[in-house]
Structures are given as structure tokens and as C-alpha cells.
């Protein structure tokens, strides 16, 4: 889908009632859009999960980086910040809890520059600076920690072969006639591109503007919906490339650690004994 910001009108103060009415129409439309696709996904949900599990494999990482805002310094492995609206690329935050169930994720990057860019570089498009240079210009207080771990089941979303079976199951999804007509009336028809190919699936998962859907239209982005299915499949993580630095990142689902030998832990000593430093089957609930 194209940038949802393009479907929202802006104008004078006198236009606010009209803009508000259009906003409410858009929110209702995207709820119906989500519901129609969710119904079709549910018909093949077990097969969708199986297709993703077939591509999952163990993954070990050493001295990857986690950057959090300063207020989370004493709980750097907590996933609680990920469920704040709008959530993360592969997890749904508190957008509309009655309609879209919230679930967390822990985000890591393979190097510190990428971790910083992922946290602070969301406003950089159009800047003449690199992602690393851009974040160094921001005054925000942050904490960076080194993290290592071993996961039993990780989906590498960079490998198109791991997405082919999933796409084959959803490529024939259709919108109903009434919803298609409503899209036409709202001027949305050119924006509604369902996934038909693996290439399109990659575009969706790597969308630079994924936050626009949850932040402006109170609806999860396609990558967040995909993250939900991965999590429901029992897979413990998703590897993907940062759209800012093109280097590897990892979204981890600790809620899938029960009955698993997977572990994620800080590499360096904690400043106090009160800091939770290790996520595993016995401790994962401390981080949710």
C-alpha cells in the first residue's frame, strides 16, 4: 500500500469538521479492509503458519546491539516499550486494543550505528546525511547494550524462498464488491495493492513508512500483521535488513520461549543486581 498520509486531507480551521468526518470514514474503511483480509487469512491460517515454520531455522548472534531511551536504562531487554502506540515493524502496539490484539517484540541490530538509526532515524528521509551521521546530530539521551544469544527458530525474511509459500497462499485474496466500491468513493482504489508476488511481499515488509498506518489510520501495517502470524507460528524471531542502513536487524518474540532452549542475554555486567540480564524459558515473563 502507498503512503496512507496521502489519503488524509489538510485545510483551514473551518475545514476541521469535514476533515474529521473524512478521517472517521477512513478509519472505518481500513477496519473493514483489515477484517475482510483477516477472514480470508483465517481460512488458511494453519497453512500460513506451517509455510513460515518450514523456512525457520536456528540462529546464533554475538555482540549485537540494543539501544533504548534513557528512561529504560535499567530494563534494557524489556519489550514493554514496543507495545506503545504504534508498536514496532513486526509487532502491534496499543493502536486500538479492542480490534487489534497487542503483542510485544524485542528489537536488536547487528551494529550500534544501525541500532541508533532504527531508534532515532525515523525522520531522516530527505536528509543529506547518512543514517549514522543523522542520529549523531540528535540530542536524545540513550543507552546502548551489547547482546548475544541463541534462538531455536528464526525466519530470515531477507531470503525470498522463505516467503514464497506464504505468498502462494494469499495471492488470490480479493476485496468484496461493496468494499471496492467504498474505496473508489474515498479515492483509495490506486492505493489498495494486495500482495500477489514475493517481490511485493518484500516491499511490504521493508516499507519505510510502515508507521503511517497505525499512527494515522488506527490500523496495523501489513508488516505488523505478518509479525503476528510469525509469532502465532511459534517462531522466535525475524531477521530483516534495516531500511536505513541496510544492515541486519532482529525482532525477537520472547513469548515463544517456553519449552525452548533459546536464550538472549547481556554481554556485560549490569550496573545493579536488579537488572534482568537474561531471557530464557524460566525468565521470559519478566520481559513482557
Q: For the residues 208-216, what does the mean pLDDT come to?
A: 91
The pLDDT tens digits of the residues spanning 233-284 come to: 999 999 999 999 999 999 999 999 999 999 999 999 998 888 999 999 999 9
DSSP letters for 103-129? ---EEEESSHHHHHHHHHGGG-TT-SS
Beta strand 142-156 pairing with 237-241:
parallel
State the pLDDT confidence band at 192, using cuts at 50, 70 and 90.
Answer: confident
As a whole number of angstroms, the distance between CA 256 and CA 234 comes to 6
Nearest to 237 by CA among 172, 162, 167: 162
Higher local confidence (pLDDT), 71 or 189: 71
Residue 9 is predicted with a pLDDT of 44
Q: For the residues 31-58, what does the mean pLDDT come to?
A: 97
State the pLDDT confidence band at 45, using cuts at 50, 70 and 90.
Answer: very high
The pLDDT tens digits of the residues spanning 27-36 come to: 999 999 999 9
As a whole number of angstroms, the distance between CA 189 and CA 183 comes to 5
As a whole number of angstroms, the distance between CA 26 and CA 43 comes to 26
Structure-block grid coordinates of residue 281: 524459558
State the pLDDT confidence band at 71, using cuts at 50, 70 and 90.
Answer: confident
Residue 126 is predicted with a pLDDT of 55
Which residues are paired to 88 by β-bridges? 91
Give the lowest-confidence range in 9-13, 45-49, 131-135, 153-157: 9-13
Give the global pTM: 0.89
27 touches 217 (CB < 8 A) = yes
- Which phi and psi (to 5°) does residue 261 adopt? -90, 5
Residue 135 is predicted with a pLDDT of 54
Amino acid at each position: 500500500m502507498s503512503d496512507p498520509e496521502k489519503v488524509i486531507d489538510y485545510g483551514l480551521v473551518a475545514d476541521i469538521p469535514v476533515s474529521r468526518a473524512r478521517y472517521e470514514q477512513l478509519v472505518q474503511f481500513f477496519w473493514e479492509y483489515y477484517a475482510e483480509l483477516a477472514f480470508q487469512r483465517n481460512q488458511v491460517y494453519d497453512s500460513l503458519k506451517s509455510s513460515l515454520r518450514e523456512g525457520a531455522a536456528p540462529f546464533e548472534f554475538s555482540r549485537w546491539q540494543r539501544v533504548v531511551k534513557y528512561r529504560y536504562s535499567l530494563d534494557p531487554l524489556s519489550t514493554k516499550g514496543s507495545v506503545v502506540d504504534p508498536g514496532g515493524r513486526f509487532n502491534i502496539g496499543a493502536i486500538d486494543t479492542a480490534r487489534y490484539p497487542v503483542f510485544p517484540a524485542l528489537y536488536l541490530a547487528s551494529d550500534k550505528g544501525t541500532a541508533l538509526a532504527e531508534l532515532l532515524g525515523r525522520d531522516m528521509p530527505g536528509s543529506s546525511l547518512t543514517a549514522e551521521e543523522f542520529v549523531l546530530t540528535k540530542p536524545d539521551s540513550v543507552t546502548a547494550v551489547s547482546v548475544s544469544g541463541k534462538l531455536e527458530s528464526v525466519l530470515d525474511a531477507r531470503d525470498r524462498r522463505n516467503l514464497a509459500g506464504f505468498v502462494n497462499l494469499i495471492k488470490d485474496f480479493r476485496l468484496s464488491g461493496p468494499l471496492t466500491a467504498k474505496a473508489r468513493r474515498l479515492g483509495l482504489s490506486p492505493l489498495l495493492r494486495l500482495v500477489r508476488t514475493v517481490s511485493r511481499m518484500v516491499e511490504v515488509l521493508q516499507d519505510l513508512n510502515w508507521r503511517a498506518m497505525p499512527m494515522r489510520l488506527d490500523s496495523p501495517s501489513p508488516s505488523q500483521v505478518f509479525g503476528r502470524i510469525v509469532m502465532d507460528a511459534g517462531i522466535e524471531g525475524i531477521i530483516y535488513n534495516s531500511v536505513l542502513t541496510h544492515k541486519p536487524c532482529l525482532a525477537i518474540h520472547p513469548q515463544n520461549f517456553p519449552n525452548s532452549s533459546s536464550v538472549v542475554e547481556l554481554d556485560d555486567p549490569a550496573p545493579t543486581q536488579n537488572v534482568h540480564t537474561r531471557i530464557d524459558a524460566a525468565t521470559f515473563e519478566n520481559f513482557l
